[in-house]
Amino acid sequence: MFFRPDRPGYGENPYPELERLRRTEPVHWSANLGAWVLTRYAECEQVLLDAETFSADPADGAGQAGERVAAHRAAMPLGDAPILGHTDGPDHARLRAVVNRAFGARAIAAREHGIRELVGELLERAERGRPFELMDGLARPLATMTVLQHFGLPPARREGFHAAALAVMRARVDGLSDPAAPRAAEAAAGYILETLDEAAPPGAGGGSTLAGELARALDAGELSAAEAVMLLVHIGLAGNGPTAMALGHAVAALAMHPDVAAALAAGSLGAAAVIEETLRWDSPTHSVPRFARRDAVVGGRRVRAGQRLLVMIGAANRDPERFADPDRFDPRRTGPRHLSFGVGMHYCLGAPLARAELAIALEELVRRFGVPRVVEAARGGTLEVRGFERLVIAPWEPGELEG
């Protein structure tokens, strides 16, 4: 058996290959990837739920790969500060407790009006009746701007914060190969801490904000300055790509299923249902890596300590053992939850914000475009995050749908 996600065509439609692998060898050792590839819902859920056995931290990988990650962190500014998505156990629980309230129902409800205004401002740039490039025109800027708005940072600081966050993460990723990256990260961290001094306090302006919660936790001694910076950086950057790609997938799905788009436009189907089915049917989070802390058995296969596992979210979400007729796009389906936001300890912190943002954007798009059609599409992304690099849409011309 071979699994070659680098082959031409996989990014366009990976599901036949994933179905073949799930049917014949659902826990597959891929020598070319150096990882176990999991394609069945049961094993994917097992690994995601068991954070004691399966680590989210690449430093727990076996041999030189894990050693390189640890050495890189030791050499970088803020390198010892935990990243929420790579941290398990008590540290993860402590960090998550600080930021949870900023993503609660009340905080998200307080953001909905602002999200709708952002969508409106971005769509005002589109010429009515003309093709519109969705990814750069709406999806990517909306994802970034929504998070920055939700942070509660002063508007004058938002653009500078985004640049500073990128500088910090650049040092975490490739600082050893770029001598300027560590110095830039140190300056960026100082800028980010300054923004926290100007953040709105928790509860101000109608709901908790992330920056406000972090400023409070810093004052209370619940966080170090480095931890506060890395929380802001990670949350500010990690979800933007998947959220933007989810909107692209949702719009493409409507173009492929004009009856669904028509029901949404008529109000007989809710945007939230379309988003949930999109996340199951064509998840932007395509795979999630984990690292075995100790020997374990997964799907009858022996996984050795230090080995990497690729939890194939895209495959799990189309497992016929969990989802009836899984290749059919059906926003009215009921049944098990999809795994696109994860499960267990690392369930996506920003899921409530992403759901609100995506539903509002889809509502406004359909209100403006009606049933969309795709004029041009180009895929991008990686094995972990898959989506459109470019997606040009336009309204259907009168009579086209009937023909």
pLDDT the model gives residue 8: 86
The residue whose two tokens read 């966050």 is 165
- Which residues neighbour 165 within 8 Å (Cβ) at sequence distance 6 or greater? 188, 192, 232, 233, 236, 237
CATH number of 15-395, picked from 2.130.10.10, 2.40.30.10, 3.30.750.24, 1.10.630.10: 1.10.630.10
Between the CA of residue 372 and those of 5, 127, 131, 252, 396, what are the distances in Å?
A: 30, 14, 10, 8, 6
- Give the pLDDT confidence of 256-314 residue by residue, as tens digits: 999 999 999 999 999 999 999 999 999 999 999 999 999 999 999 999 999 999 999 99
Instruction: Region of 77 please: left (phi>0), alpha (psi -120 to 50) or beta.
Output: beta
User: Could you state, in order of their start, the residue ranges of all structural domains in the chain?
Assistant: 15-395
Q: Residues 56, 290: contact at Cβ < 8 Å?
A: yes
Q: Which residue positions in the chain have pLDDT lower than 50?
A: 401-403
- Give the pLDDT confidence of 172-219 residue by residue, as tens digits: 777 667 788 888 999 999 999 888 877 666 555 555 788 888 888 888
pLDDT the model gives residue 82: 87
Would you tell me how many other CB atoms lie within 10 Å of the CB of residue 232?
27
- What's the rounded Cα separation, in Å, for the pair 388 and 333? 25
Q: What is the pTM of this model?
A: 0.93
